[in-house]
Chains A and B, each alone.
Chain A
Amino acid sequence: MDLVEQFPVLIVGLSMFLAYTMLLTGYLNRRLPFFMSLAMNSFFLILSLFILNHVLTVGPIRYWQGGWRPPWGIEYVIDAMNAYLLVIVISMVILGLIYSRGNVRHEIEERKHVTFYTLVQLMAAGLYGITVTGDLFNMFIWLEIASLTAYALIAVAGGRALRPAYNYVIMGSIGACLYIFGVCWLYSVTGTLNFADMRLLLPLVYDNKAVQMAFAMIVVGVMIKAYIFPLHLWQPDVYTYAPSTISSMMASVHVKVMFYILIRMFYSVFTLEFIRHYIGLDLLICWVAAIAILAGSIWAIKQRNLKRMLAYSSVSQMGYILLGVGLSPLSPWGLVGAAAHILNHAIGKGCLFMCAGAISQQEGLKDIRDFGGLGKKMPHVCAAFTIAALSMIGIPLTAGFTSKLFLIYASLDAAQYPFVAVLLLSGLLNLVYFWRVIDQMYFVKHKETENAIEVKEKGKSLPLSMVAPILILASLCIIMGIVWLTDIPLPLINHILSNLRMGVTL
């Protein structure tokens, strides 16, 4: 057994171990937990890069917990999709941690800092766990760890954040319940919880009503967590009132991992044959996604609060990933688009939420109409915001362009032309609501406003620990926009396609 095969369990186990050690060391020194978390997560990033390399060169890693063979024991399976997502999740957690260093002082009382970082590390552990596991029930456990810590992290600022956090608790619990009901029914029919085993057993019972119901329940349950359009009602308030670090982490990491559950269910548990078995199911998913794309964009145009606008923009962008998933039974490019958009949206939206937090920290501004003259006061942040916004709109040579390109190609390949129109229209709508912000920043003169909230150290320039992650993510938007168009990610894409059994390579 190679040492690299121990790395998945090292990442997950050490994260949990670290979280509780951080809670204890917080009694010695309040700053220590942050540095411990940063150091260990950087170590995990190195491990995850080794895992990605191993998966791409040798093959999937299968790790048997406790040495029990898979149908009975819990198995950790790392294939190309997991390894790719694990690298994204760990890097975004590290950047979020660096950003939180300057941000948390302003948004959270000092006595809560130790528990804040403990909870962030626990949430990261839950997300890493979802990413590496190959077992339906184990996935539920990690899902609960990630969700419960997220509820607490949203409420940590107190005040107005409490109500949205409570809404999220209710909605998130319903989602988790639906997921576990679905898993129970699958278990009652097949008698197994392992992904690979269930994939072999399920084709015999595709016509069983319990299996069909389980599919519907799991998909709807995960859709609540991933705020697909009609089920997004908890999300805008949560993203608006949560601390900026948490908004950024939720939008860039948490929801991606929820989507990963959906992708894993579609491809590794139920397989595309199941979806093709019911004529029109894939198109139904596509239309849900199309409605989500348009409705999210239209609602975003109506918003005045920057973070709320970004929240509705996220609703729209989740539709892109769902559209990719829905198109994939018809064309492999759909899955490529979904996988690419997971990364592109993570870096773009992470950067935008960090910019929103930075603006409200330095100038106390939250309303878009007060942003006049901001481009001169905060040149770096505004430039980064513009680049990330262009990436969200889908201007060529930015990351967002490539995922839209893949999705448009998928629609053409599948001969589903309405979705091309939806994607192009959505690009225009994105332009409308992001241009309002850019226009205010650069082309409107500064005027005094009464809407600005009181902030400590108003007008003082931001610390480097906040500006650096913003600039890194903004430059990544451009770098990835070029990298996706070259041959560099081709082995990764081919491995994802073959590991998820699409039956084709590019």
Chain B
Amino acid sequence: MTPVRKTYKRNVIIEVTTNLMFPLILLFGLYVMIGTGGTGGGFQGGTILASAYILYITVFGHEKGREKMPESVNALFKSLGLFLYNGAGWICVLFSLATAQWLNMPAFWPVTDFVGVAGARSFLVGYMVSVGIGLTVMAAFVSQYFDLAWKEDDEMEGGEE
């Protein structure tokens, strides 16, 4: 049984609204991730970023969505988030040679000289870690969505990506 490809019907109102909303949703996602300056919000911000992109795919079709974000770029984002998250721990190990002290780090000298302990802490926790979680969550959601959306095409083309 070959799946019948549904004809794609354009709708001006939906497309224009999506184009208008897309940057705003991204901005809101960024605000949830880092706007509050404290811990938390990485996962929620990441899902909001992913929702913007999934909206784009549902409106413009997944071929066009794939052009905007190929799987290799998606994998890059997935890894980049982990690098930031894991890197926040490694920076502290490397510089202080004590522990992964990203919450508790008076010994962490290079940043604290410039911005003070509280500033360095909020940078590592509020920005690096949150953005890291957010990027990975976004990329993971997008690739899950693609896996589901491309399943029919996958079976038609013999499993090649």
Interface residues in chain A, defined as those with a beta carbon under 8 Å from any beta carbon in chain B: 1, 6, 9-10, 13, 16-17, 20-21, 23-24, 27, 63-68, 109, 111
Contact = CB atoms under 8 A, between A and B. Distances in A.
B106 to A, nearest CB: 9
Interface in B90-104: 90, 93, 97-104
Nearest to B160: A111
Contact of A27 (B75, B101, B105): B75
B99 A23 contact: no
Nearest to A27: B72
Contact of B99 (A24, A27, A63, A111): A63
Interface of B: 72, 75-76, 78-79, 82-83, 86, 89-90, 93, 97-105, 159-161
A52 to B, nearest CB: 21
B124 to A, nearest CB: 11
Contacts of A13: 86, 89-90, 93, 100
Contacts of B93: 6, 9-10, 13
Nearest to B105: A67
A21 B79 contact: yes
Given A17-B83, A27-B75, 8 more contacts: A17-B86, A23-B75, A24-B75, A63-B99, A65-B100, A66-B102, A67-B105, A68-B104
B103 A24 contact: no
Contacts of B75: 23-24, 27
Nearest to A1: B98
Contacts of A16: 82, 86
A4 to B, nearest CB: 13
B86 A67 contact: no
Given A20-B79, A23-B78, A67 B90 contact: no
B82 A20 contact: yes
Contact of A24 (B76, B89, B160): B76
26 contacts: A1-B97, A9-B100, A13-B86, A13-B90, A13-B93, A13-B100, A17-B86, A17-B90, A20-B78, A20-B82, A20-B83, A21-B79, A21-B83, A23-B79, A24-B75, A27-B72, A27-B75, A63-B99, A64-B99, A66-B99, A66-B103, A67-B99, A67-B101, A67-B104, A68-B104, A109-B159
A109 B82 CA distance: 27
Given A13-B89, A17-B83, A66 B78 contact: no
B83 to A, nearest CB: 7
Contacts of B86: 13, 16-17, 20
Contacts of B103: 66-68
